Amino acid sequence: MAKDRRFFIFNAYETKMLAVIFLFSSIPIFIISGFFLTFFGDLAYTYLDSQTADHLLKEFLAVAVIMLLYNFIFVGITACYFVHKLYGPLPRILHHLDEIIVGRTTSKIYLRKGDVAGELISRINALIGKIKP
């Protein structure tokens, strides 16, 4: 059996999970940035001269952009790794189960090293062992 080396090709389950992770990790940054700019912007222009207030708000926007970049890079890499380990074997498992249902194979399912679904696969393999002729 040839090894599948396509690490960054995501199936539908992985894509949905990554979208949810990015959405829920980016929303707090946008909310905090919006509140800060709304409330602090008015205070800055009220109590500081306009040049200093502009400088402070530009610095804050730079920090907000850096936080978003951090979110997309580091959270993205971590999320891709764990989501791929969790949902990566799912299409292969479903395909193998379809092959068993049709009667084309009775072989066991094998996982990649480090995949999370080990306990599920061991139980499915035990079931396959019981229905083998």
User: Dihedral (C-alpha) 60, 25, 72, 22: value to the nearest 10 degrees?
Assistant: -140
Who wins on pLDDT, 45 or 22?
22
Residue that has been written with the tokens 């990566």 in this structure: 88
- Sign of the dihedral through C-alpha 4, 7, 9, 10: positive
pLDDT, position 110 = 83
pLDDT tens digits along 63-100? 888 888 888 888 888 888 888 888 778 888 888 888 88
User: How large a percentage of the chain has pLDDT more than 90?
Assistant: 0
List of long-range contacts for 61-66, beta carbons under 8 Å, 24+ apart: 61/33, 61/37, 64/29, 64/33
Query: Residue 87, SS3?
Result: helix
Which pLDDT score is estimated for 128? 84
For the entire predicted model, the pTM comes to 0.60
Helix (H, G, I), strand (E, B) or coil at 7: coil
Residue 9 confidence (pLDDT): 61
Q: What is the spatial distance between Cα 57 and Cα 37, in angstroms, rounded to a whole number? A: 7
